[in-house]
Structures are given as structure tokens and as C-alpha cells.
Amino acid sequence: MTATTDGGTGAGSPPAAAANESTTVLPPAARAGQAEPHAAAERATARAVEHLLARQDTAGWWKGDLETNVTMDAEDLMLRQFLGIQDERTTRAAALFIRTEQRPDGTWSTFHGGPAELSATIEAYVALRLAGDAPEAPHMAAAALWIREQGGIAAARVFTRIWLALFGWWKWDDLPELPPEIMYLPKWFPLNIYDFGCWARQTIVPLTVVSAERPVRPAPFPLDELHTDPRRPNPPRPAAPAASWDGLFQRLDKALHVYRRFALAPLRRTALRAAERWIIERQENDGCWGGIQPPAVYSVIALHLLGYDLRHPVLRAGLESLDRFAVWREDGARMIEACQSPVWDTCLAVIALADAGVAADHPALVKAADWMLDEQITRPGDWTVRRPDLPPGGWAFEFHNDNYPDIDDTAEVVLALERVRHPDPGRVETAVRRATRWNLGMQSRNGAWGAFDADNTSPFPNRLPFCDFGEVIDPPSADVTAHVVEMLAVLGRQHDPRTRRGIDWLLAEQEPSGAWFGRWGTNYVYGTGSVLPALVAAGLPVSHPAVRRAVAWLESVQNADGGWGEDQRSYRDPEWIGRGATTPSQTAWALMALLAAGERESKAVERGVAWLVENQRPDGSWDEPHFTGTGFPWDFSINYHLYRQVFPVTALGRYLHGEPFTPDRREG
């Protein structure tokens, strides 16, 4: 049985690799290309390069849409309702997008072809009601019935119930307590705000204000139809075993509810002011917070509750920044991006074009390098809490996010810059030196690297009843560590003791199957596609047992159509590991790994390249409705619309021109 990919129930079992046939009908030219794989790959690469070059902004950057799920759009409408700033055009366009994402059974999922998700369905339903859809309408009645069958609002995640509490649809007393006094916990104390990953920290601080204020703006209608028993809408949640960690934290939450009743008013006021200062200090130049939508939404609400009116410069800039997350589609629908990825997309595009044979001094690459150089962050951010003496030098993911550079972007930007022959090599050298120093300084104690912070590994934040919305800490991962190791190897630092520690950590993290877990991309195909090129670049021989095990695993999960795919469900269900409908980006990741391992002449590579060639669109692009990016494993999935382009170009380029990249090749 194959996975559902058409927006249906998505409840199927994982497809066997031998049974996962492509449904693409190949044009005669593509079928003919099978007889001449190298020439066909050259033509496909040329078309893809032309398409990618045409997508570059005049300022030098690339950015594809970043698609997540309808909770972004639903919460945007609820925010506008809460602040009283609704407008008919926005509401109509958002509702149109939410309706187009509804599945035939009336529910919503969080990734293409995935199973129905309760909180997403509740939030989408509420947003459509705010937009005027009647509860009796067939699409609404179907959604409400399914919600009740799953336990109703009471079974939703905490964040969904917080949104409903803002309108009186849920009781604040029945939500976990999050006191603003957490701001006073010292940095060494468990559960201080710096124990949380930066994305969670930016969200939790404003939510301490919301939790303290407990605002209620009267709802325009009841939601009785979403409760299993409207007479008892807030049933108690089941208690965890008293001797478990979950039981301990449930008792802690009860104690915090008691504390709320007796908290000293002066202490509470000063804690709220501390949270207020923290929020304002981290507002970016464009008005956003951290370049991502959720912290921006909650920061706007928190500051508004603290007395900032909507005309205040801080709030005005914040609201204007939220509008920039909107993508208006040709059909009139409006999709909200959770964040934007220009730095990430640009460095990946430069790597792809250079590896595909575009001249190192091509104007497009030089212009992209100039833009990236201008984006380097040279001021301290939250990362200095763990590394107070480390000079800055990283890059962030977004247009404006000086507080939160990340290690992954920094490594890939350096790899991109090393591929460009820039007219001012001294400028590039200075930037690369700063970035290398910063990335090395962000190495965790175990020898690996996380995404934003060093040693962000506390076991406690994920245990809080409040934290049921996804990963809230930032431990080292194989994919980020691999990218740093690859960067260091390209810079000639493969024998540096810090690089060797990273390599040792990667070797120890290899799964018994031969694969590596993918934290920021789906999943083992991404992890393996990241690690193998790094290990080989760092000098590991292709005959090494770890390399051979990884190659064998990739070959074992290749689909019958020649490509690779892995479903988001692999994060929860081992049966889905390495299994899923074939996608361009995941096929490219597998090819990049196999090519690095010396498998250019193998049947697996030949079939993978053929799949990319045969499934390319006439304009040089590829289609990819499936989500192959990861925000939080399973809980928050991402479809990076540029992945379908940059990674196939990289893989085809390396197939044609050889692996791995070295600076010597740039000079040739």
C-alpha cells in the first residue's frame, strides 16, 4: 500500500521501496535520454541552472516560499480579531487558503499527505468561523464532528487552548502556569530561560506576560460544537504517575497555580517589566522578533497587554513585519510563512550553481557573495550567555535576525563563499576567518554542534506541561555537525583536534542501519546526505566501514522508480524510515552522499540521476509538494520551495563534474 499524497486521509502504511512506483508520465525526449545518461544530465543541468539564475533577486539573494501549515494563517486571523484590526480583504484571502488546504474528510494535516492533526483542525475551524463560515456548512460540520471524535478542544495542545482562552473559549485556570518571575532565575538554575532553545525562549518570554495578564476579549460566538460535552467543556486532564518526571512537573504546575494567588504584587510588576525590556531589546530593525512569526505574534500581544497602543512605534513596526510574512497567490489566497529563508536559500543556490559548473567569478555568484558578506552579524546575541568571550561572526537564516545567528547557516555560507572568485578576496578572507572562529567557539562539550547555542541540552524544559508544541531545546545534531566538519575540511582544518572531535562524534552517532538521523531535514536520508560528504571531505576513506554501511543503507531504501523519498512519519514510526514518495530534494541528498562515497558509476546513482532528468519540468524546475524540511521533528514540518531546485542542481553538478569540491577546483 502506498502513502497517500493527494490530500486524502494519509493513513496508509509506509510504501515498500520496491513498490513505490512513480506516477509521472515521461515525455519521449526524457525516455530517449535514458540511453545517454551523461548527455541527458548535462542538458537537464543547463536548464536547471538557467532557471535558478533567473530566480535571483536584483539585490543578489534567492528566497523560495517557506510553507508550513494552516495554524500560521489561523493564528494570524485570531491575532487580528484579538487586536480589532480585521479587514475584509485579508480575512477573505486567508480563509480561501485555509479552505484549499482542507482534506476531503474535513480535517487539516501539518504536511502534505500526512494524517489529520487535531490542533491544526481546531485552529483552522475557528479561523473559518471568524471569517464567516457557518457551522452548518458541510465542510465545517465534518471538521467539528472529527474534532469531537478526537476528544474535542480539551485534547488539543496547550498553544491552541491559549489562543482559545484569549476569547473565553477556554479557562485560563485550566492551562499550565507560566509566571514572569522565571525572568529572575539565574543562568545556572534549571529552567532559566536560556535552558530553552532560542525559538522557544523568544516565545515563552512574551507568553509569561500573557499568562500573568490572562486577557479575555469576548468571543463573537460560542464553540459548543467542538466539545465532547458542552455542559462540561473543561474536563480534567489525566494525571501522570506520581513517581514519574511528568508527575513531578504536574505537581510543580499545581504549585505555580497556588503561587499565582499569593504572588507579591511589586515582584510581579517588576518581573513583567523585566520581560517587557527583554522583548523590546530583541526586536529587530525590521520590527520582527528573531525573524520568525510565532515570537512576533506573542510579542505584539504581550506588549499590547502592557499598555502599548497599536500606534506605538514598537507595535506598529511589529505589525508591519508580520505583513511581510504573507505570500499572496494568483488565486487570491494568502499564505503566511512561519519565517523567511534568504540567507539559507542564497548560500545553497551559490553552492549549487558553482558545483554545476557556473564560473566562480560569474556576476550572479559575485553579487550573491556581496549580499551574504553584508549580512554577516558582528554584534553579540543571546549565544553569548554560554560563550561570553567569543567574538561574533555568524550568519542568521533570515533577512533580519542579528540576535540569533546559527551555526548551520554560517557553515554553509562559508562553503558558498569559498566557491566564489571575489574581486576583493581580502574581504572574503576576513569574513571567513570571523565565521570559522565563531563556529569553532560554538562547539558543544561533546564535540558536536547544535543550531543556535552551545550545550543547550537540559533535560528539563521538554518535561514542562506547557511545552507540548515541539522541541524546545537545541542539542547537537548530525546534520549541523556534518556541515561544520565539511566547512573545516574545505578550509584545510581537517586535522584540527576540534574537527576530529566532531568526526568522532559523527561516527559514534551512526545508526546500526548505517544511516544518520536528520534533525533539520527529513530525515535519515537528509542526515546521511549531510554526513557522508563531510566525512569524505575530512579525509575518511570511501572504504571505511561507516561509509560502506551508509552506502548499503541508501541503496536498500532506493525506490523502484530510481529516486528516494522519506515521509515525515519516520520521526514517529520506524516503519517509515527511508520510505516515502520520491522527491527531487531527497533524491538529490542520496545522490550527494553516494557520489561522495565514490559511487558515481553505480547503478543506484545512474537510476537516481535518471529520475531527476526524467522528472524535470520543461522550464528546468522540479515539482515537490511533499515536505522535506523539519522545524521540530514531526511536530512542525516545512516545505522549502527552493529545495526542489538547489539540491538537484547540486547533485547533477557533482555527478557531471566530480566530488568533492576543493578550493583548487575554484581556481581552475
What is the separation of C-alpha 24 from the centre of its chain, rounded to a whole number of angstroms? 28
- The answer to whether the beta carbons of residues 200 and 472 sit under 8 Å apart is yes
From the list 73, 408, 453, 479, the catalytic residue is 408
What three-state secondary structure class fits 40?
helix
Contact 179, 210 (CB under 8 A): no
Q: Do 626 and 5 meet the contact criterion of CB atoms below 8 Å apart? A: yes
Q: Show the DSSP H helices in 153-197 as ranges.
A: 158-165
B/e letters for 300-330, b = 16+ CB within 10 Å, e = fewer, are bbbbbbbebeeeeeebebbbebbeebbbeee
Per DSSP, the three-state class of 247 is helix
Helix (H) or strand (E) holding 629: strand 629-632
- Interatomic CA distance for residues 194 and 589, integer angstroms: 34
**455 noted as active-site residue:** no
Q: Which residues of 496-509 are buried (b: 16+ CB within 10 A; e: fewer)?
A: bebbbbbbebbeeb
Residue in 632, 658, 626, 629 with CA at minimum distance from that of residue 20: 626
CB atoms under 10 Å from CB of 344, counted, come to: 29
543 phi/psi in degrees, rounded to 5: -85, -5
**Using CA atoms, how far apart are residues 506 and 516, in angstroms rounded to an integer?**
8
- Please report where in the chains the cell 558582528 appears, as a residue: 378
Dihedral sign, Cα of residue 462, residue 440, residue 429, residue 382: positive
Surface-to-core class of residue 618, CB atoms within 10 Å of its CB (0-12 exposed, 13-18 middle, 19+ buried): exposed
Q: What single DSSP character describes residue 636?
A: E
| Beta strands 334-336 and 636-640, pairing class | unpaired
The Cα 553–Cα 604 span in angstroms is 12
Q: Return the active site residues.
A: 408
